[in-house]
Amino acid sequence: MEEVTTGHLEKRELLQLRNEMASYFARPPAVQKDGKLALPSLPSPIDRERACQGCPHLLVCTALNTAPPSPPHAMASLVPATLAHLQPNALEFFRHWCLLLHVESTQSKRALTRSLWCQDPIKRENAGGAVAFLKLKCSVEQGISQWLHSFSRACPSELPSHCSVPETIPPGTFQEGDLVVVSSKKCIAIAQGVIHSCDSTVVSVMLDR
């Protein structure tokens, strides 16, 4: 692999292409005439045979391309050649699997974002999506821009009078590796990190500050 020097214009064009592709992936699943769900449409493939032949995403790209372009477009021959080793039922399984992942991702993003802004911490904790009223126990620097923060449940005397939460952290709320958002009493989503460990008394989160 050889490093290629790029200028400002090239970087700007790459960002524009990245944002365009991201806009397609961010669309919700499409509803067909028969009521079934389908993956949202992707942009038209590029017509560069040499570039596509060496692309690491060629197999996935061609598998999701349900309507290959007509000749003399490069993909007209690349699609059948790339998928020649796969049976139709294998392709259908892969596309259906991608659709299920997309539906799950779309619904989870909507639900989590809505609840973060519209529900109080206790309701989100009762639904299994948060742990409310934690206090910082200790912070340990792990490396460059990496801090391990340990949180424990606040004492009953530190809780608002109208709040009633268990003294221990509900089991199964978080697992190691879960992506979480940390909020304070005054600000929502002040940091984002990954669960390092979690038990009934302490939640440890790796943050970038």
Looking at the structure, do residues 52 and 105 belong to the same domain, yes or no? Answer: yes
pTM here is 0.52
For the stretch 86-93, contacts whose Cβ atoms lie closer than 8 Å and that sit 24 or more positions apart, written own/partner, are 91/63
The tokens of 178 are what? 């879960």
Q: Domain check: are 37 and 113 in the same one?
A: yes
Domain of residue 47, residue span: 8-118
CATH of the domain at 150: 2.40.30.270
CA distance 88 to 86: 7
Q: 183: closest CA among 145, 136, 138, 123?
A: 136
pLDDT average, residue stretch 81-104: 92
pLDDT at 96: 93
Q: pLDDT tens-digit profile of 101-152? A: 888 887 766 666 677 777 888 888 887 788 888 989 999 988 888 899 999 9
